[in-house]
Structure 1
Amino acid sequence: MAKLKRSLFIGLGGTGLKSILHTKKRFIDTYGEIPPMTAFLAFDTDGDSINTKIDSNKGGQRIGLDASEFLHIRVRNPQEILSKQPDLFDFVPTENRPLLVSLTDGAGQVRSNGRFATHFNYGAIETAIRTKLTSILNADAIGHEKYEVNGSDVEINMMFSVAGGTGSGTFLDMAYIVKEVSKGINSTVGVSTIGFAILPDVFNAMMNGPAMANVLPNGYGALHDLDFLMHHNFDKKPLEIKYATKTITIEKPPFDLVFTINNSDKNANTYTNVNDLSELIGLAMFTGASELSGGMASSYDNVKTVIAGGSMKVEDKESWACGLGLSELYYDGNKLGNIYAHKASTSIINNLITPETDSFNLDDIFIDDAKIRENNGDANDELIDSLLSVSPKIQYSFINDVNSIDSEVNAYLVNVEDSAKTEISSNYAIKETDVNKKLSSFIIEHINKSSGVGNIDRFLNALVKHVQLFLEEMKSEQVVMSENDKLYKNQLNQTISELKGLSFLEKKFGPKLNNAKEDVIQSVNLIASNIHELLRRQYAITFFNKLLLTVGNHEENVKNIIQKLQQVEEDCESKFIGLQNQINEQPKKFVKELHRDFVNSVKVSDKDLNISDFIKSIRGNMDGLYDFSEMSTKLISESFWRFSKELPKALEYRNKNINEVLSTYSEDELNKIIKELIIKSNPLWSYNYKGHVINRQHHEAFIIGVPNVKSSVINKKTLSNVLESNQRADFNSTSMQDRIVIYRMEATVPAYAVSNMTLYKEKKESSRISHHIDANWLLRMEREGFDIYPTKREDHSLEYWVTGFIYDFIKFEGENYLAYSEEKGDPIEDYWIELGTYRDEAFTEFKRLKLQDEFKSMIDTKIADLGETENHKLIKEVTVSTNYNEHYSKKNFENSELKDSKMIKVKELFSDEINFVKKVLAK
């Protein structure tokens, strides 16, 4: 029974919507449905967002949001609404009011537009949230054998980007609406709100130009607004959010935890597509609600305690921004099983359409069985003999009256022909029916065998050639019989004339009468036999012509079957090649796919396939493969899929769990996999304290989900080989048999220290619009002197002295150390100021000149120009081994000289520099 946390997943804007879709996909892939204690809700100013869908791992299912899970927060004619209700919307900054245009297809990357849509649609938003929360809270009342509710509290996971207009403009209001609605439903139930905020950098990586103009400044405005609420003194004059039907008094910070998610980690592994980040966050939110929820709740509580205790504060700034990293070890046996099944289908089809080498005698077997052979003259007269005898059963043997011989002979021959036609017509019908039936049975019998379609195709081709040969012989013999008919009739006329011409005495007494009669009788019988022979050929010709048509129809059907099978074969080949290419594509940065190690070894052996078993699966009461001629390729394809996907080898791939797969790896290979997973799980963020911190430890948590803790190949012992001494992992059973998840969080830093805040602020200050959502709040911030940066200063001279060398703002040239300062330097000297010859004296002068603030600004600018990724590379290079000492310190002495007594102060300073590099800068 799965033990799941009550969870509502809210997606704001397009990015948030995609993230919760990935979460929904995970639930469906894992449990086959959405559990009753789980709900999804998306809000967007773009109504087309509801059409967004992603693929499930289960049978090609497309996953989207249903109508109850999406609310289009559109506003038509916002200018008119603003003019009619100026007090209700007085939060809209003056400079942003002209930007309020129709909010039906997005918020135009203007944060205050997104908030305007929230206020206008407050009633619908409140109702949607209340409906979902009520269904989650009622989960206990739903009898379900598959699930158990983990705890009584509800966790709200809210996903948004701070770079655009909708998500960035709505997330603060939504957080407070959720809190207010939850109080009205059940005040005894604890509700925690967790924000997942994607920072702007990934959008800049995807696209540049005017379309991205507001992305970075929006990020600064959003984090500035959020930081104000996270620092707000709620004992002072309260803040309020006024809606048309409700006023919410802000009594707490909007979120219990906030994860700020950038597009790169400390190792400069960079995401360049926001969809990949959406998928990662979707998995993170699913993980937090799944069987891992217990371990994660404990880590979340630890972080909340740390934040509340104030130990993570930096001067007067609260630390609330958390880093999130996640990696997934995944074995998709389903894909491997599908590849095998499609390959098996192609092998079966290839077998069916490829004739056997010993199938050349099928035509002779059928001809002999059907008794239709007609070749080599009288040697083989099987067909015509079955249609009619060679001669009439009653021979013409006696002339009754010579005087009426003509009428007598004619009557006999007419009777012979009539009788023959009656008999041959009956025999023909019987023969035709019998042969056609035998042909159909023969085709169905032999087509439903190994190589059957190819064999029958070859058989029909050969049968046509035989029948054409028989037909030509019948036509040739018919010509001979027609010529014989003329000859025999002439002979008859001559013999009758001779008989009639006998004299009276020759008729009465002579032997000539008997001879003449015998000649007439013989001639009549020759004609009668020839009538039979002609009829036999005529009907044989008709028979063979019709048989050719029948065989032609069968040929057409078989060709049609072959064509369809070839098309299905091509489709199957395309499918398994597509799956192979999909697996072999560049993997997602947070996923290690074990099935990649096996995809090229999926092979189908002939001994694995039993063609007769496939044929049995499609026969039933039908004609098996022959029925394919009248079936669509779709139905044919489905018949192969139904059979192939249940083959033992396909099921073996599909049913193998990740633990079984991992057990096939050596210890070294396993350690390599674990190391890769830990690297992939590095939190997607970086930070820069900008001189305000010398030494502090972050809270770090590893939560590892395995199918079963008791039997997992990856466990505390195997993990201890690769984790650092200060890292500890908590293991939890997830019941997910195909994957292992590492969820990693790092906490916390103040908002100002989050990656690239300096650049965000710089872009904000050069923007012509406001990137804050509430003009009234901004005024209050200004009057209270609120700043996102610490307002106290400490002496961080050593930090800027060291980083001055690293970033080339301090150098040793000639006989002096020089510092660059545009504020205090002489432009004639290119702004370089002499500090002194000895390093300790130069440092003292550096401090006296109070260059700290200017250096801070110059170094921040330099870091922004480099970019977070390149800056990380530089710092990593500086802090490795003795690199600072040898390459970056710009010292004017050898280390051996520090033993000299006059270098005591220099030695102390240089030791402090190296300690700073190793103990502070390297963290």
Structure 2
Amino acid sequence: MAKPKLRRTLYIGLGGTGIKVIKEVKKNFLNNSASSLPSMVKFLCIDTNLGDLNGVPTEGEERLGTLEKIHMTVDEPAATLHAGGTIYDWIPKSNRDSVIDIEGTGAGQVRSNGKFIIEDVERKHETLSRRLTQLFSNLTSVTAEDQNYDILSATNIDVHLVFSLAGGTGSGMFLSVANLVRRYIPHANLMAYAFSPQFFTSVGVNWNITHNAYGALLELDYHMHGGKGKYTNVDRNITKKLFDSVMYIDKYTYTKNHLEDAFTYDFDEVKVIVAHALYLSAGEIGTNALSIVDNLRTAMNSGGYDMECPNGIKGAWVSSIGVSEIFCNPQADIEFKTIESAGNILKDLLDGERAGLTVTETNNWIGELNLDESQGDKDGNYLINRMLHPDSFKTPKSQSKITVYDSGTYDDSDFIKINDTVINSLKDSPAKVAEEKRKLILQKVKEELFPTSGVKTIGVKKLIQILSGLRSDILNSKKVLQGEIEEFSSKQENTDTIIKQSTENIAHERSRNRFVRDNDAIEDAKDAIRKQRVEYYKYQLEIDRRTAAIEVYDILDKFVDSYIHESTGFLSQLKSNLESGIEKLEEKANNDFSSKVLSRESTSIDLTSRANRLTTASTERHPIDDWNKFFSELEYASIENLAPKADWDTTAVSIFNSHQSADATGPIIVRIMNTYSKEERIQKYKDLINRARPLMEISSFGERINPSDFIFVSYPCNLSTDKDESDKMLAKFKTEFEEALGSDKFEVIPQKDNNKILMYRQMGVIPPFYIQGISYKKNTLSNPESCEALYLKYINKAGDRRKVKPFTDSYFEDAYEKGGHSLDSEYGIYVSKMDLWVDCFILGLIERKDDLYRIEYNKGEIEFMPPFKAWKNLGTTRTEAYEAFEQSDNEFISYLKEKREQLLLNTEVSAQRQKFYGVGENKVALYMNSSLLDFESEEFKTPNVQDLIRKECDFLRQNQ
């Protein structure tokens, strides 16, 4: 079967919002890729809060890999800001105190903090630049097919940038990140997903939410007007758009012609919807959606979606998305059977399932383990022979070493020493033998509880009986050995009696004839003493090996007793799970797999029916979380060796595989066609369309606009019917879907998944101020709760608490004056004087002193302070200074050029100059390094591109 195809795709999340969405996207890939990530898909998350970035994932949330995250912060923000001087002129004065809130814990809900952090980090370390370079290399080098996906033949890399407009990190960084993506991932398809402030107005620090969003939207509006000749009758300064498309993500849904229900979601619901759309964007549906992006880009650049309003031409650039699905869970039957099997396994573990099995048949473990010493020689003496085999002492060596004196006394120390040396080398220690037997017992338990080859479990109840019987047998054998020890002790006493009698015989013979030599009676008595000492030694060895065996029994007795106790606890836990756990699982199964009324906000339509469950021939391993979770609750602290978790997982997989059906079912479209009437099918398709509502609410003023609606619907292509039948079914589907949609403007995409129909719905571009909750009267709309209205109230309210500006203080028509980045490397104003102007700053010929720009000139006013240089005053503002410089006569310009050449003869000075821009790099391109000026200052009340570049000159001058 052909594998799904994916585009080379990079997902980037900024701040808390972006990271949560990207983690959800990653989970989509893992859930659909057998827990492995496709090689042509990469993830990157950037945050200023280290705790949030590295925190423990919440339940159901994916963990980020080391190379999938970047933490950005400024260690000494106040000192860095102070040292930067005019580099950070763009930070509003009212925001400067807020930088103390940075230091690794976030951006403090202040956009300028987020921008300040990324600019400082990139200037010093180029952290993101290097990572993007590596990701570009990794993605472009992907050519081979991986295990689960093929690669789509697309030249460009798709980059999806997700962020919130409302906070400090994402809202402050997105322009900088987008520009770096453009620089280090050439020709990328760059798409933004901007989350509305509506999600966050009741979360945490919310006093600056709407103002941040409004400022960010103004800047986006400026950047998305690249390529426009006019904008409210004013020439534009940028020629390229920053993003290929911008998806505005709101908690409210767009309603087409007011015929669809308007729904309201919370963030967690929208996170799942957007993540699903982002996941789909990497595949075949994404390929078709990108063709729409291309068409939209052409239409936007030609003004095809612009609106003429009472106060000017409004550019359109905002889009939105929605997804929905009809699915039928093909694993419902398998999963339910698995849950039922879990209950059966637990019952089996309790009671056992071997028909006719009796305790008598199972409690012979003591014999199988060679531990039975209760039958004398009939049991084979396995254990005591293991402790010391009798062959080693039946004929003790060197009996002659026993010396018996004429007095009847004896010395057998040499005899014992020689034989002990031999015998001790043949002994096994009780501890060693007990450990071996303990392992054998554990193995027996595992084999009986978790048998293989189709053998049934004996159950924990039976196990406890067996273990109790084993312990009883151990104690019985121990008792028998203790009796045998008494017998051998009695025999030792007999040898002592014989030795005593022999000694008396020797004494009697000597008293009768003390001078008699070679007395046979005396020699016979000595031989008797030697023999009895050998017998005594042999009896002692019999006692010793039984004593060692008893020590083994003592160790095993304690072990088996503790095991009985643990098994009893395990039994209790199993009973508890049977009483409560199975009921919960069955209840869940009933809820999950029965036909139920879905909430109207849901984007999914579940056709799975408990009464009509599907089966599948697929051998792909699917999650059986409920079953595994159920068994994970059985983990019993002291029973770990009895039922290690690995065994439960193995058993779970075994149960799952045993319930795979060999009969394949027809795909979902076949089920729909065969199960529902035409009217019911059309209603299902209408429901599918309705549930894919784009996540953006249009204002009431938006009734005059009719955004384009792009519909993509997947269709199972792995049909089991013949081609003619498949073609007829597809034609019927298209006809009925067209009737449900009321239009033929949709595209059917082949999909490998037979059990799901997906719908991806993209709303065409509109001007941003038609979004509900954005604009106010200045844009001919009236919404007292809009971002604009709340912002104006905020900045005009005297005595308000800590004021932090979001960089902008006007409305959309003025956004072009509030610019930030530009993607142009040449601006059409690059002249030799500008080149000289920049060099004058770099080489120290221009300085700013006492709020006055002045330049070193031999015909200027001489300063009456060492080193008595002559200076020409240029003006109090950058604008005045550059105008004076630009209007200077040729003599002045010639002097400066000559001065520059003299200075550059010095290699150190020349090297310092090259520090700021390399050979061949346009100086003016340094404009990209800083943006978001302090528009509240009088100096930049009406800035133009020259003003911005002059600001960069100060940036260069400060960094010498």
Determine what percentage of the aligned residue pairs are the same residue.
19
Aligned partner of 1:64 in structure 2 is 65
SS at the partner of 2:362?
coil
Aligned partner of 1:155 in structure 2 is 158
1:218 aligns with 2:212: yes
1:767 aligns with 2:794: yes
Q: Is the 8 A contact 2:192 2:243 kept in 1?
A: yes
Aligned partner of 1:473 in structure 2 is 483
Deviations 1:228-258 (A, max 9, x none): 5545884369999xxxxxxx96224433322
SS at the partner of 1:151?
coil
Aligned positions of 1:354-503 closer than 5 A: 357=359, 358-363=361-366, 373=376, 444=440, 447-448=443-444, 450-451=447-448, 454=463, 457-458=467-468, 460-474=470-484, 477=487
Deviations 1:799-847 (A, max 9, x none): xxxxxxxxxxxxxxxxxxxxxxxxxxxxxxxxxxxxxxxxxxxxxxxxx
- Distance of aligned partners of 1:444 and 1:312 in 2 relative to their CA distance in 1, 3 Å threshold: same
Q: Is the 8 A contact 2:319 2:762 kept in 1?
A: yes
Equivalent pairs, count: 698
- Residue among 683, 691, 697 paired with 2:694: 683
Structure 1: how far apart are the matches of 2:198 and 2:122?
31
Aligned partner of 1:96 in structure 2 is 95
Deviation, 1:45, is 3.3
Aligned partner of 1:667 in structure 2 is 675
Of 422-431 and 167-176, the range deviating more from structure 2: 422-431
Deviations 1:851-903 (A, max 9, x none): xxxxxxxxxxxxxxxxxxxxxxxxxxxxxxxxxxxxxxxxxxxxxxxxxxxxx
Q: Which one-letter code corresponds to 1:193 in the other structure?
A: L
- Distance of aligned partners of 1:657 and 1:498 in 2 relative to their CA distance in 1, 3 Å threshold: same
SS at the partner of 1:300?
helix
Aligned positions of 1:579-618 closer than 5 A: 590=603
- Distance of aligned partners of 1:66 and 1:437 in 2 relative to their CA distance in 1, 3 Å threshold: closer
Q: Is the 8 A contact 1:709 1:715 kept in 2?
A: no
Q: Is the 8 A contact 2:244 2:293 kept in 1?
A: no
Structure 2: how far apart are the matches of 1:735 and 1:305?
32
- Distance of aligned partners of 1:237 and 1:251 in 2 relative to their CA distance in 1, 3 Å threshold: same
Deviation, 1:164, is 0.3
- Distance of aligned partners of 1:79 and 1:25 in 2 relative to their CA distance in 1, 3 Å threshold: same
Aligned partner of 1:732 in structure 2 is 749
- Distance of aligned partners of 1:280 and 1:129 in 2 relative to their CA distance in 1, 3 Å threshold: farther
Structure 2: how far apart are the matches of 1:235 and 1:383?
100
- Distance of aligned partners of 1:356 and 1:550 in 2 relative to their CA distance in 1, 3 Å threshold: farther
Structure 1: how far apart are the matches of 2:58 and 2:174?
27
Structure 2: how far apart are the matches of 1:310 and 1:710?
41
- Residue among 536, 543, 546 paired with 1:544: 546
Structure 1: how far apart are the matches of 2:27 and 2:448?
43
Structure 2: how far apart are the matches of 1:582 and 1:168?
42
- Distance of aligned partners of 1:680 and 1:550 in 2 relative to their CA distance in 1, 3 Å threshold: farther
Structure 2: how far apart are the matches of 1:34 and 1:361?
52
Aligned partner of 2:761 in structure 1 is 744
Unaligned runs of 5+ in 1: 241-247, 394-405, 503-516, 603-630, 785-923
Deviation, 1:500, is 13
Aligned positions of 1:809-824 closer than 5 A: none
Structure 2: how far apart are the matches of 1:382 and 1:500?
45
Deviation, 1:66, is 0.9
1:296 aligns with 2:289: yes
Deviations 1:469-520 (A, max 9, x none): 2144336546866887899899999999999999xxxxxxxxxxxxxx9xx9
Aligned partner of 1:640 in structure 2 is 647
Structure 2: how far apart are the matches of 1:707 and 1:125?
49
- Distance of aligned partners of 1:644 and 1:158 in 2 relative to their CA distance in 1, 3 Å threshold: same
Q: Which one-letter code corresponds to 1:281 in the other structure?
A: V
Aligned positions of 1:243-282 closer than 5 A: 250-265=238-253, 270-273=264-267, 277-282=270-275
Aligned positions of 1:91-130 closer than 5 A: 91-101=90-100, 103-105=102-104, 106-121=106-121, 123=123, 128-129=128-129
Aligned partner of 2:627 in structure 1 is none
Structure 2: how far apart are the matches of 1:740 and 1:82?
58
Deviation, 1:676, is 7.0
Structure 2: how far apart are the matches of 1:270 and 1:119?
37
- Residue among 749, 754, 776 paired with 2:771: 754
Q: Which one-letter code corresponds to 2:199 in the other structure?
A: V
Structure 1: how far apart are the matches of 2:314 and 2:700?
11
Please identify which structure carries the higher helix content: 1
Deviation, 1:734, is 5.3
Aligned partner of 1:611 in structure 2 is none
User: Under a length normalisation based on structure 2, what TM-score does the superposition of the two structures give?
Assistant: 0.55
Deviations 1:268-299 (A, max 9, x none): 6554445x544543332232122322221233
Q: Is the 8 A contact 1:8 1:38 kept in 2?
A: yes
Deviations 1:550-583 (A, max 9, x none): 2344456667888999999989x99x98997999
Deviation, 1:546, is 1.6
Deviations 1:737-771 (A, max 9, x none): 88764322223444233243332434323324465
Structure number with larger C-alpha Rg: 1
Deviation, 1:215, is 1.7
Deviation, 1:461, is 0.8
Structure 2: how far apart are the matches of 1:686 and 1:383?
85
- Residue among 194, 201, 204 paired with 1:204: 201
Unaligned runs of 5+ in 2: 255-260, 397-403, 451-462, 513-520, 593-597, 616-637, 775-782, 796-802, 819-960
- Distance of aligned partners of 1:544 and 1:39 in 2 relative to their CA distance in 1, 3 Å threshold: closer
Q: Which one-letter code corresponds to 1:699 in the other structure?
A: S
Deviation, 1:259, is 1.5
Aligned partner of 1:167 in structure 2 is 170
Structure 1: how far apart are the matches of 2:264 and 2:52?
27
Q: Is the 8 A contact 1:265 1:685 kept in 2?
A: yes
Deviation, 1:168, is 1.4
Q: Which one-letter code corresponds to 1:461 in the other structure?
A: R
- Distance of aligned partners of 1:543 and 1:141 in 2 relative to their CA distance in 1, 3 Å threshold: closer
Aligned positions of 1:642-661 closer than 5 A: 643-644=650-651, 647=654, 649-650=656-657
Aligned positions of 1:481-560 closer than 5 A: 539-555=541-557
- Distance of aligned partners of 1:476 and 1:551 in 2 relative to their CA distance in 1, 3 Å threshold: closer
- Distance of aligned partners of 1:104 and 1:652 in 2 relative to their CA distance in 1, 3 Å threshold: farther
User: Under a length normalisation based on structure 1, what TM-score does the superposition of the two structures give?
Assistant: 0.57
Q: Is the 8 A contact 1:467 1:544 kept in 2?
A: no
SS at the partner of 2:741?
coil
Q: Is the 8 A contact 2:194 2:248 kept in 1?
A: yes
Structure 2: how far apart are the matches of 1:739 and 1:577?
31
- Distance of aligned partners of 1:686 and 1:563 in 2 relative to their CA distance in 1, 3 Å threshold: farther
Structure 2: how far apart are the matches of 1:94 and 1:659?
67
Structure 2: how far apart are the matches of 1:760 and 1:482?
107
Aligned positions of 1:820-835 closer than 5 A: none
Deviations 1:579-603 (A, max 9, x none): 97999899995567899979x999x
Superposition RMSD on alpha carbons, in Å?
Answer: 6.7
Q: Is the 8 A contact 1:474 1:537 kept in 2?
A: no
SS at the partner of 2:171?
helix
